[in-house]
Every structure is written in C-alpha cells, then in structure tokens.
Structure 1
Amino acid sequence: MKVILGNQNIFILCWTFLLAITISCGSQSQSNKENREVQTKTDSKLLKYTTGIRSFLEDSKGNIWFGSDKEGVCLLYNGKFQYFTTENGLSNNQVRNIYEDKNGIIWFECGRGLSIYDGQKMSIYKERNYDSTTKWKLGDKDIWLKGDELDGYNQLEKNPGVYQYDGRKLSYRTFPVTPKSEDERRFHYAISTPFLKSKNGTIWFGAYKALIGYNGSDFKIITDETLGLDGKNSSLHIRGIFEDSKGNLWIGNNSGSNPLGGIGVLKYDGKEYLQFTKHYKLRKEDTKANSLDRVFSIGEDTLGNIWFGTIHSGAWRYDGNTVKNYTKKDGLVSNHIWTIYKSKQGAL
C-alpha cells in the first residue's frame, strides 16, 4: 500500500493552507442520503464530508485519514477516497482523534468506543482491562484514548480517566480526582482534546474543565481555581492543547455559553500563566471585529509562527510580537477551523 506522498499532499493542501470545517446546511434527509452514498462509493476528486473534519492523520505508510464529526472516517489512498462508517466497522460515526500505535495499527477514538484498522479491515476494539486503574506508568510509544462514552464515564470505568495502550493491552487509568457533583462527573474531567506528550516527557490530557499532566511520578492538575478564574464570566472550556518548539504550552478554550465570549488562549511557560487573548485585547468584549475568544485548535508552522483556529473568526497567526487574523475573505473555506495539522513535509 505504498503511495506517492507528494501528489496526495499537493491535492489536499492546495485548496487551503489550514484544514477547515464545512458546516452542512442541508436537511437531515439529505445528510442521510449523503451518508449512504459515501459508504458505497469512492471518489478521486472531492472529500464529501459536510459535517466537519475533527481529526487528521498522515500515517507511516503515507496514507491520509480524515475523521468527520458525524459521517465516519475517510482514507485517502492512491488518489482515491475510501469511506468507513458504523456499517463498515466503526464504533461511532464521530471520529474525534486518530492515532497510529507502535505496531502500525491505526486507532480511531470515536464519540463512543474505539475502532482499529489493521491495513485490511476496520473493526471495533472491544478488549478492556480494569484491573490496574491506579497503576499509572509511562511508555515511550504508548497511546492514550478517552473513555468509551460521549462524556463522563460508564459503570466499568467508574471514575474519570483515560485508556492507555502499550502495544499489547488496553488498560483504564483513573485520574486522582473526586467529582463533587453530577455535572463534574459528566463533564469536568471528560477528555476534550488529543493527548499531548511534551518535550520533558509529561503526558497532558485536555478535559473540558481541567488540564491534567502526568510525568511518570506526579500529577499536575490545572483548573479554574489554579488560574484564579471565577468560573462564571471567565472559566476553562478546553478544546485544544499544543506545545510549541520553545516548550511553551498553549491552551485553547471555547466558552460559547458565555455572552461575553470565552477566555480564548492561555500560555504556560512552565512557571507562569498568561491570558494571551486578554493580553492582546482580542476578547469579544474588547473588539467589535473578529475575536480570539473561542479557540478549537492550535499549531505551529515551520517558521515558528503559532496558529489558532476559532469557531467563528477564522485563523489567527502569532509571530512572537503581533497577531493577525485570516478569514474567508483571505481564502479560507470556512471561518470555523476545527483542526490544524502539520504534515510530514511541514505544511499546515
């Protein structure tokens, strides 16, 4: 299954320099019709998803995977798209994250459950181990995946946590937290981002209301209280985490229910936290134009510029001194940038 990377990357990356969500305006019946079509056809010209791209992976074989919000996952191979849904072995048609393990197996973290692709077929992964939930450990090439539910945890998981796959076994690990209410049990510690392995070896997990780090011996848990946020007008709602080439940790937040907008971007240098959006006066309450208050994705280009993808204000570029906004007027397909991914050739 060898492919020519250059042709595929040129095909994908020419129509936009960032991977943007496209929101469907069609009816539910039209959406169902489109789903039936993509399950049975391949197409070499256009990715047919209309509900948005939530995840992206260029695997070790040069294949490119697109995970959608509601329509399953798509494989780009030899210039053609091949579509997979629950009818073809996915546990759920929402594909939040895609990983490749040390054995070359592709993992799909779905809205509910997990699926794998072994190079030949897609299948639901059902094996779980719950015998060592508090025995945390780190492996160089382990992958980490959210719990099996859309949010919260089930009766087997019992507490907030994540699954760890070490190449042989999928084991559930619980966070050292004690939810105090039903809202905290369901939402606060539910994983909302891909896991992040920092340069110093710490594994970071973004949850809606907490950022949790584990370095092999100790946990660091960042919450509203840690940051001095009031939890109402300013609060964490984490949708993206990223470590840049200088070792800074960036945290993107979306607080759509707050009429004043969200807190946007936080920057953590290992010692101090900077409310980046507030510092640059880019909150909704600060500007009548586009704001940097509802952030879904963060990335870095080959020049060291930091990019932010928002839910309604397109993409923003930070060059170390100034912040510049790009929208549909500048050539983006949409002003909702759900995912930013850097290819092996260095293109965003």
Structure 2
Amino acid sequence: MKNKLNYLILILTLNFSCVEKKSTDGESNKLELEATSKEDTLKFTSGIRSIFQDSKGNYWFGSLKEGVAVYNGKSFRYFTVNDGLTDNQINSIQEDKKGIIWFNTLQGVSSYDGTKIVNHTKANLGKSQNNFSVQGNEPLQDQWMKSDNDLWFEAGIKEGVYRFDGHKLSFLAFPPQKAINPNNLFSVTGISKGKNNMIWFGTYAGVFGYNGKEFKIINDETLGLDIEVEPLHIRSILEDSKGRLWIGNNGIGVLLKEGDSIINFSDKNKLIHPTSGRKGNKSLPGTLEHVFTIAEDSKGNIWFGDRDAGIWKYDGVKMINYTKKHGLTNDNALSIFEDVKGELWFGMEDGKVYKFNGNTFERQF
C-alpha cells in the first residue's frame, strides 16, 4: 500500500503540481472583498483546471497552482490558501441551491458564501516529497445514498467520495475492489451525473456507477484488458444526453460504453498511433490517447481535451482536431465549459482561456 501511495503522490506532483499550504487549520476565514485588488485580465500562469458560471452570471476559473478567480464581466477577484482555501489546485467548482459556491481542491472541499470561505475537509495525503504533511478533521463516513440536490466531490487519495446533501458533508467509501494494476488506486478523477438516477465516478483504476441502490463496476478485469499492454488509467468521464458513457484515459484513449457494449473509441477511429506505448508517454499529433477532460455541448457534440494533441470535436459522424493552427497557444486543454448563452470556454495548460467561435478559438484572457 505504501508503494501505491508514493506512486499516486508522484502522479499528482508531476501532473498537477501541488503547492505548499499557507493557511491555518481554522474552519473559516472572512474576506474583506472591498480591499481585494482588482485586475481586468486573468493573471494565472498555471493551467486552468475548471471553469464555472454561477447563477449571478459570474465566471469562476480554478487553477492548478494559484487558487481561484471570479470575473464579474469587468474585473477579477482572487482567492488562495491565504484566504482559507484547502489548496490552490481547484479541480471543480459548483453552486448549491442557496447560491453558495463550492470548490473541490486537491486537498479537500471549501465553500464561499459571498463573505467567507469555509474549509469542510483536510484530506490526509501523508508525507509528500518535501516532507510536508496535512492533517485535519474529516467528515464522518456515511452510508451510501443519493438525492437530486447532492453535490459530489473527489476525496484526494481516499477510495471514495464526499457527498453534500444540502445540510452536511459525508465521506462515502467505495465497495472494496482489487486493483489489478498495482500502480493504480480507486481514487476519484472525474464525476458525471447520468440518466436513470445514475452517477458515475471515474477513478484511476476503474469506474463506479451508482443508482441509489447498487453499483456498476468497470475495471481492467471486467473489460478483459491486459494491464501490461493497455492498462486503465482514467482521468475523465462523461455520460452524454444519449446515455452513452465516455471514459477518458491517460494512455489508451477514450472508451465508449453504449448499453452493454464497450469499445475503444480511439482505436476504432484510428486515433492511437501504431507505435504508441499506450501508457503515459508523449503522443504524436493527430492522436487521442491522453484525455483529461470531456464535455458535451447543447448541440450534442462531444468535446475532448487531449494532453498532447489539442482539442477534438465529435459531431456524431466525424472527428475534428483543433490545435495551435486554429488560434490556440497551447495544445493541452484541461477544462471545457458551456455557459448559459451556449458559448464554449476552454481552459488551457498554459493558463490561457479561449472561446470557440464556430471555426477558430479566440483568446479571452
């Protein structure tokens, strides 16, 4: 188990660069918003891991190393660990029914009510390479259940998820599973709500689907994969409006589940290079092997962000690849988001943010 933890911590360090914490272990920090400096352009230089538009129309941008920024259409406001966030890496942003904004960070869960940031967790990663350890209060483990208003969060290296039911945050542990690949853990890397009351949790080692009563398990064993040739290493997941489940991997591309059938979508479309090692090695242009984000737009198009080969769009018939030739400064999209106007936003690994105009990409920040 010790080797697994060391391996996963190394992955998190290489891919998403942890930052040292400067906040205290206090539960909440009040923010003097009027005193916060404002800028008219986004000043992040690390990757844009998450994008979100709240009910007031504000845009939120979560970074890999520098916290979160909110844009009201004129100016930016920034929050970091110094303001109370559990970590400066923001993996996802959500809003609850009361208008409170929730941040899923590398180290846990924080919320912002417009006045203060509250820390709800302190995920225990043990000792990292710089001997910095994090200890803190964790939500109590609860029984599995779900409702329509739940918010779901990744739980660091813990093999389970956090669930906020509108009143309390609980930790829910996954049913025990054997990791066929000893270098993988069942810690969450992506979450997607689906049809038939289903919610999907993508983990490094496999997928858990939960419908409120029972689990559907997808892993190396159920897929019959040879872990020496094409091991699962899941980084993104999406159930689309047609009920199809898309599973993005770091190495073997995209798996597509339709009904009881699962195929390698990248293989079918000849988007895995013949010389590919099907693992974490850098890919050649024109491939779809390392998929860190998947989204569906309001027209039913499926979008993929590949670590090495740019942005891909699938319209149900053909695949279109967008790269630096189409206005991007970087070929690694970490986040894709459609706003209430139907405009598509893309957060890139170099900290830039783009909108798609139907043909090319226009830089916003």
Q: Which range, TM-score by smaller chain?
A: 0.7 to 0.9
In the aligned structure 1, how far is the partner of 2:198 from the partner of 2:297? Answer: 23
Structure with more strand by fraction: 2
Query: Hey, what does 1:50 align to over in structure 2?
Result: 45
Structure 2: how far apart are the matches of 1:180 and 1:301?
A: 34
| Counterpart secondary structure, 2:252 | coil
| CA 129–85 in structure 1, closer or farther in 2 if over 3 Å, else same | closer
Any idea what the Cα deviations from partners look like across 1:309-347, whole Å, max 9, x if unmatched?
100111111122221211011112310011111111112
1:130 aligned onto 2:140: yes
Q: 1:310 to 1:179 in 2, by over 3 A?
A: same
Change (3 A) 1:334 1:128: same
Count of equivalent residues: 289
Cα distance between partner residues in 2 of 1:180 and 1:250: 21
TM-score, L = length of structure 1 = 0.78
User: Does the aligned pair in 2 maintain the 1:144–1:165 contact within 8 Å?
Assistant: yes
Q: TM-score if structure 2 supplies the norm length? A: 0.75
Aligned CA distance change for structure 1 residues 302 and 102 (closer, same or farther; 3 Å): closer
- Indicate the residue corresponding to 1:107 in structure 2: 102
Q: Could you say which residue in structure 1 is the equivalent of 2:212?
A: 216
Q: CA RMSD in A?
A: 2.2
1:11 paired residue number: none
Return closer, same or farther for 1:116/1:211 CA change in 2, 3 Å cut-off: same
After superposition, the C-alpha distances for 1:24-43 in whole angstroms (9 at most, x for unaligned) are xxxx9xxxxxxxxxx96321
2:288 corresponds to which residue?
292
Identity level (%)? 46
- Per the alignment, residue 343 of structure 2 pairs with 347
CA contact (8 A) 1:102 1:142 kept: no
SS of residue matched to 1:320: coil
For residues 292-311 of structure 1, what are the structure 2 equivalents within 5 Å?
Answer: 292-311=288-307
Q: Which residue of 1 aligns with 2:266?
A: 277
Residues 131/223 of structure 1: CA separation in 2 closer, same or farther (3 Å cut)? closer
Matched, 1:64 2:59: yes
Alignment partners' CA distance in 2, 1:131 and 1:236? 28
Please point out which of 252, 261, 266 is paired with 2:255: 266
Query: Take 1:238 and 1:220, find their aligned partners in 2: how far apart are those partners?
Result: 16
Distance 1:289 1:74, change over 3 A: closer
Superposed displacement of residue 307, structure 1: 1.4
Which stretches in structure 1 are left out of the alignment for 5+ residues? 1-27, 29-38, 154-159, 255-261
Could you say what secondary structure the match of 1:277 adopts?
helix
What SS does the aligned partner of 1:226 have?
helix
Structure 2 residue ranges without an equivalent (≥5) = 1-18, 20-34, 122-136, 277-283, 345-365
Work out which of the residue numbers 167, 176, 187 in structure 2 matches 1:190: 187
Choose the corresponding residue for 1:312, options 304, 308, 312.
Answer: 308
Q: How far off is 1:164 after superposition?
A: 0.9
What is the deviation of 1:131?
5.1
Task: Give the counterpart of 2:113 among 110, 113, 118.
Answer: 118
Q: Counterparts of 1:251 and 1:173 in 2: how far apart (Å)?
A: 22
